[in-house]
Structure 1
């Protein structure tokens, strides 16, 4: 009798569970953090707002960030200089492409102007010598004249509420805070921040700037305050019976002992009487080319005793010659 083979179940194969290197779980495995590090986003925003407010107060009221700002401006100066290079190269190339005929006409015009200026200079030399003799008679002993340095405007602050420019001269060239700045026509402003290689100039039209001036025609003294974006000046506290007219030239009075006296500032544009205002409203237009000048003059006053120069401005002028 043949013995039949009974069917047996298939053998069970043991396969170990897959493991990842270094015990790293697969991507689809959910990881639940045990600890939450750091404050919540709301707390972070509140802390950042308080920190920003504190920095604003420290900078505006106590000027604690001036040193930091100065370091940043020194670091950014190479970038500003590099950004100005294309415009400077374009101007140089444009100057080289000027025609020979235009150069000839310009040369003739400059020669005529130079001859006229030399003639006026002879009169100024005579007047200065006479002025020195009169001051010697009054017992005033001081040096007259100014030392100047030419600087170039690098950037212009485009903010409507600010009238400032940056120049390419700094403390390494002897620039100091409060130094007067002029262009070829008149007073432009004064230095408010000086770094080793650049300086910031506050223009006379800025709302935060005021300048002692006098009417060149009759010596009437007043204060010229900037009006901001309008690029105009307003004369403060002018009595209604004051002798001031349109187109009167305003010059520096030297009473602040910062700006040398006698430099042109502006011309009177409008004179208006308002019944509700106890003073006369006078608006003046600066004679300096604030929006077009590329080069400026930094002025060092050579007065040995500034207080004496201020007092000398009060002395009566000699009678005019008939």
Structure 2
């Protein structure tokens, strides 16, 4: 049988020709740089494939960096929140001491009680209605919290602990109708009692004589009487004074300085005269809660 096509060169001949052709191409490319444009075009064609091959690694690197950065931000946010509350408490005390030094020139008869320890707590639940204004925080007997403990935010007094469980506590706000706190005017030390009205933005001073030297915008600070709240912390700002001689007492309405309707993080205080001390937890607890929220 005769094949349609004649047989070509042998395999050995083809191999020799291919080797010779390759040597010629390498010589032309090396000495004459004849394939520069061709090589550039081929590199351009291959570049998308190289980028595509690097996509998984680049994506993994980006995810790792983003996760580490996010965790660092959460930790920094929790730490800075705690530092902000503690520094705010110190600033409140500093303002009180400064006013006292200017007014009395070191002749204070009863120095303010010091605060020996502090702890940051987070609000877990809010109970808000006219008859009851309370919040639940994530600190309890395991942390050394006790009933009657004073509670602040970054601006002033918020309330006091009324009941304590193992890991949570209930805080009664100063705006609750059952709450009252001894206060005094920072300007002239006139003393009174500030009672809650059931509204976040309103307190009333009880049994204020018409002759009392109380003016609009006066700052009310805790007087320290009763031993429940340390002396000198901001409580409220007088909004208006109504002196009607047909009534036995003047009506004085004040606005709480603390943001009672927007509290999230609170500061628990342990005065020096309290034997029970806090059991501190690491800031990781705040980090874990922040991660759960994000």
Q: Taking structure 1 as the reference length, what is the TM-score of the superposition?
A: 0.52
| Distance (whole Å) between structure 2 residues aligned to residue 213 and residue 270 of structure 1 | 17
Counterpart selection for 1:280 from 250, 265, 270:
250
Counterpart selection for 1:222 from 184, 187, 192:
192
Counterpart selection for 1:202 from 158, 169, 172:
172
Displacement of 1:273 in angstroms is 1.4
1:297 aligns with 2:267: yes
Gaps of 5+ in 2: 1-66, 74-79, 276-294
C-alpha contact (below 8 Å) 1:216/1:251 kept by paired residues: yes
| Distance (whole Å) between structure 2 residues aligned to residue 240 and residue 143 of structure 1 | 31
C-alpha contact (below 8 Å) 1:181/1:190 kept by paired residues: yes
Counterpart selection for 2:128 from 158, 162, 170:
158
C-alpha contact (below 8 Å) 1:142/1:303 kept by paired residues: no
Matching of residues 158-177 of structure 1 within 5 Å:
158-177=128-147
C-alpha contact (below 8 Å) 1:233/1:284 kept by paired residues: yes
RMSD, matched Cα: 3.7
Q: Relative to structure 1, is the Cα distance of residues 244 and 147 closer, same or farther in structure 2, using a 3 angstrom cutoff?
A: same
The number of residues matched between the two structures is 188
Q: Relative to structure 1, is the Cα distance of residues 241 and 142 closer, same or farther in structure 2, using a 3 angstrom cutoff?
A: closer
Partner SS, residue 158 of structure 1: strand
Partner SS, residue 172 of structure 1: helix
Gaps of 5+ in 1: 1-92, 100-106, 306-322
Look up the match of 1:242: 212
Write out per-residue CA displacement over residues 24-45 of structure 1, whole angstroms, 9 at most, x where no aligned residue: xxxxxxxxxxxxxxxxxxxxxx
| Distance (whole Å) between structure 2 residues aligned to residue 252 and residue 145 of structure 1 | 14
Displacement of 1:134 in angstroms is 6.8
| Distance (whole Å) between structure 2 residues aligned to residue 159 and residue 200 of structure 1 | 15
C-alpha contact (below 8 Å) 2:115/2:270 kept by paired residues: no
Q: Relative to structure 1, is the Cα distance of residues 174 and 282 closer, same or farther in structure 2, using a 3 angstrom cutoff?
A: same
1:268 aligns with 2:238: yes
C-alpha contact (below 8 Å) 2:121/2:265 kept by paired residues: yes
Look up the match of 1:63: none
Displacement of 1:160 in angstroms is 3.1
C-alpha contact (below 8 Å) 1:161/1:229 kept by paired residues: no
| Distance (whole Å) between structure 1 residues aligned to residue 134 and residue 160 of structure 2 | 10
Q: Taking structure 2 as the reference length, what is the TM-score of the superposition?
A: 0.56
Partner SS, residue 199 of structure 2: helix
Displacement of 1:96 in angstroms is 5.2
C-alpha contact (below 8 Å) 1:142/1:304 kept by paired residues: no
Partner SS, residue 142 of structure 2: helix
C-alpha contact (below 8 Å) 1:237/1:280 kept by paired residues: yes
Counterpart selection for 1:180 from 127, 150, 155:
150
Write out per-residue CA displacement over residues 90-131 of structure 1, whole angstroms, 9 at most, x where no aligned residue: xxx9x959x9xxxxxxx9xx9xxx9xx99x97x979x99xx9
| Distance (whole Å) between structure 2 residues aligned to residue 141 and residue 248 of structure 1 | 22
Partner SS, residue 163 of structure 1: strand
Matching of residues 65-104 of structure 1 within 5 Å:
none
C-alpha contact (below 8 Å) 2:155/2:258 kept by paired residues: yes
Q: Which has the larger radius of gyration?
A: 2
| Distance (whole Å) between structure 2 residues aligned to residue 230 and residue 196 of structure 1 | 28
Displacement of 1:144 in angstroms is 3.2
Displacement of 1:142 in angstroms is 10
Displacement of 1:161 in angstroms is 1.8
Partner SS, residue 253 of structure 2: strand
